[in-house]
Amino acid sequence: MQLELLAPELTLAGTAIAVILVDLFVARKWLLEGVSIAGLLIAADFTIAMWGGSYAPLFNNMLAVDSFALGFKLLFLGIAILVILASIDYAARFSPFRGEYYALVLLSTMGMMLLAGTAELVSIYIALEMTSLSMCALVCFLKDARSGEAALKYVLLSAIASAVLLFGMALVFGFTGETRLGGIALVIQSMSTQTLLASPALTLGMALLIAGFGFKIAAVPFHMWTPDVYEGAPTPVTAFLSVGSKAAGFAIILRVFHSAFGLPNWLSLEWGLVFAVLAAIGMTLGNVAAIPQANIKRMLGYSSIAQAGYLMVGLATTGLSPASDVLGRSGLIFFLASYALTNLGAFTAVIAISNRIDSDLIDDYSGMGKRAPLLSLGLTLCLVSLIGIPPAAGFMAKFYIFSGAVQNGLLWLVVIAVINSVISAYYYLRVVKMMWLGKPAVAEAKAGKPASEARVTTPATLRVALAVSCAGVLVLGIAPGYVLRLAEMAASMFIF
């Protein structure tokens, strides 16, 4: 059965159990973080060992172990490690439940890893729900009114999205008689154009799949949960949700639509144009709505909606380009890696600053450049990257994904995206201006020290997470060649 090919996922499951047992029977709670990170590193080692191999599909073609899945697994593991490092100080807020917190992060990561490799509709749904249910529990970990409200909204809207997604899967199954992506593709390709157009079941099923997956990636018009959940959730959970859940959503959308609905060409063009329209609307609405936000987590929530719009440019390019062209898919993968590092860096700085000043208001970040120069510098770099200004990774990510779009006749979409990047500079640079040019708004409780000299102290693990994220942002912006080649390799090696 080749269960060794599931070694990364099984390692995370075993680590989650080990974390719970350590929390129950060992007094030294600092071991929880160590066990969690050790398990993630072991899983990463198993994943790297599989890279470049030739593996048959598992469980009757339900699970693929290809370079696409392995690349995303490494991305999810890296995200989880950085989130845990950034959480160590913050987790004191829910110290009685730290074991459960780290176990849920591990189980959610395992769900994302399974999702990247699933190639069958029922398996996709199970992996997606494993990820979503863990996230729902994490959102309410602060156990206050705002966190509870955020969790309730996320649970209810996630349930509706899951129902829509299941309905879409049922229609696709009813039309093709297949749940495996490869089988769906073969059935569709064997039918004539007249047969496909005669029944609306396939088109409606695809539309419902877009709606269900659109919720998971916070795409317009399925974005309504994002700002409230981002604001109410613990900040490390918001960081995890903003990059991990989004990357997993785009991974499965790319696999489903490229593998199952990539041919005939006219069908691919249809869903490619749908994603193009959603991209244009999403990036515009997200950026415009972010401008008046006073809370930095809500601002980054609307920013996440806009970034989903930029990412959907890659999906649109994939739909409009020939099946053999990897430019759209590789651009999307590279953008996801860049966005993950950038957003994790931004949220890590927010965790460090907000946890000390006990505020998420942008006005309270005033003068932070004097009180926490390194944190402010890291946050500035990440915000500049989100705009798409060189030498940060965001510039290369947008350049790469926009180049593919232009080559496939989407110049109009790229023009809209560039205009939106200029609009986004207003609210990103407003935070930068507040930190470096504003006067300190809040003083530390240190006798005799004026506000301008009150320093914001941070734990070493959080500084490490921020340093790794910022270093990655710079490396991908200055020397992106190696990661681009890995992205192209992952994009070109689908089993299905």
Structure confidence at residue 56 (pLDDT): 67
- Compute the mean pLDDT over every residue in the chain, rounded to the nearest whole number: 88
Closest CA to 294 of 341, 206, 227: 227
Question: What is the per-residue pLDDT for 74?
Answer: 94
> What is the band of 445 on the pLDDT scale with cuts at 50, 70, 90?
very low
Q: Residue for token digits 């071991």?
A: 31
Joined together, the tokens standing for residue 292 give 């008046």
Q: Write the CB contacts of 145 (distance below 8 Å, at least 6 apart in sequence).
A: none
> What is the pLDDT, as a whole number, of residue 473?
94
pLDDT single digits (tens) 110-142: 999 999 989 899 999 999 999 989 998 998 888
Number of alpha carbons in the 13 Å side-chain half-sphere of residue 279: 26
Is residue 49 a contact partner of residue 28, using CB atoms and an 8 Å limit? Answer: no
**pLDDT average, residue stretch 145-155:** 86
The one-letter amino acid at 58:
L
Mean predicted confidence (pLDDT) in 467-480: 93
Q: How big is the chain by its Cα radius of gyration, in Å? A: 22
The residue with greater pLDDT, 15 or 486, is 15
What was the pLDDT predicted at 496? 54
Determine whether 332 is exposed, middle or buried from the number of CB atoms within 10 Å of its CB (0-12, 13-18, 19+): buried
pLDDT at 224: 84
Spatial distance between the Cα atoms of 399 and 321, rounded to a whole number of angstroms? 18
| 326-341: pLDDT as tens digits | 878 888 999 999 999 9
Write the pLDDT tens digit of every residue in 65-111.
888 899 999 999 999 999 999 988 888 777 788 889 999 999 999 99
Higher-pLDDT residue of 271, 359 = 271
Give 457 or 444, the one with higher predicted confidence.
457
Give the percent of the chain with pLDDT over 90: 56
At residue 448, the pLDDT reads 45
The amino acid at residue 188 is I
At 476, is the pLDDT very low, low, confident or very high (cuts 50, 70, 90)? very high
Q: What integer is the mean pLDDT of 52-64?
A: 77
**Residues 170-217: pLDDT tens digits?**
999 999 999 999 899 999 998 888 888 888 889 999 999 999 999 989
Residue 361's DSSP bridge partners are 295
SS3 per residue for 291-310: CCCCEHHHHHHHHHHHHHHH
Cβ pair 77, 45 in contact under 8 A? no
Which tens digit of pLDDT belongs to each residue from 374-420? 999 999 999 999 999 999 999 999 999 999 999 988 999 999 999 99
Residue 453 reports pLDDT greater than 70: no
Residue 53 pLDDT exceeds 80: no
DSSP state at residue 102: H
From the centroid of its chain, how far is CA 280?
Answer: 19
